[in-house]
Amino acid sequence: MNLCVYGASSDRIDPVYLDAGTALGREMAERGHGLVFGAGATGMMGAAVRGVAEKGGRSIGVAPRFFDQPGVLYENCSEMIFTETMRQRKEIMEQRSDGFIMTPGGIGTYEEFFEILTLKQLGRHEKPIGILNAGGYFDDLAKLLEDTAAKGFMHEDCLKLYFITDDVEKLLDYMEGKIE
């Protein structure tokens, strides 16, 4: 299966996050999964694709043409797809993926996650959504979503539309449908 991984492009983050991204990429490749990602050479995207590459896995990078600058994109993707806009990028990433994993990141990562979560909540797809909670990065987000449901702004069932863990193997087990 092809798994879309969302995550930071910044390298100015704690190595605990980058190590988790690399471990995720390695385990994905070892299990035979392809990586679909935003084609970034740095940050969580770069860590994941380097992990995939270390184990001889397949990667599909998807990037708007304006990101094609020296040092921005990972140059050794198995396949590179260029788009004109960020919206086209997200659409292709969604179409080419059998599931979605959010790793630590900033507003772009959150935006991608919330869009794919909203689409699942609306019944537009049934693909698994996982969150790699490396270093407890998403503890506050998990609490926010729980509070959102508790206060009636989101149905309680929405909390069952994703799986959150700091364990790469459990995360991939969930993505593969081995655990609920």
Q: In degrees, to the nearest 5, what angle opens at C-alpha 67 toward C-alphas 141 and 92?
A: 65
| Partners of 46 in beta bridges | none
Could you list the pLDDT tens digit for every one of the 180 residues in the chain?
999 999 999 999 999 999 999 999 999 999 999 999 999 999 999 999 999 999 999 999 999 999 999 999 999 999 999 999 999 999 999 999 999 999 999 999 999 999 999 999 999 999 999 999 999 999 999 999 999 999 999 999 999 999 999 999 999 999 999 998
What is the domain class of 2-175 according to CATH? alpha beta
Helix (H) or strand (E) holding 2: strand 2-6
Q: In degrees, to the nearest 5, what angle opens at C-alpha 83 toward C-alphas 38 and 8?
A: 20
φ/ψ of 37, rounded to 5, equals -155, 175
- Give the 3-state secondary structure of residue 12: coil
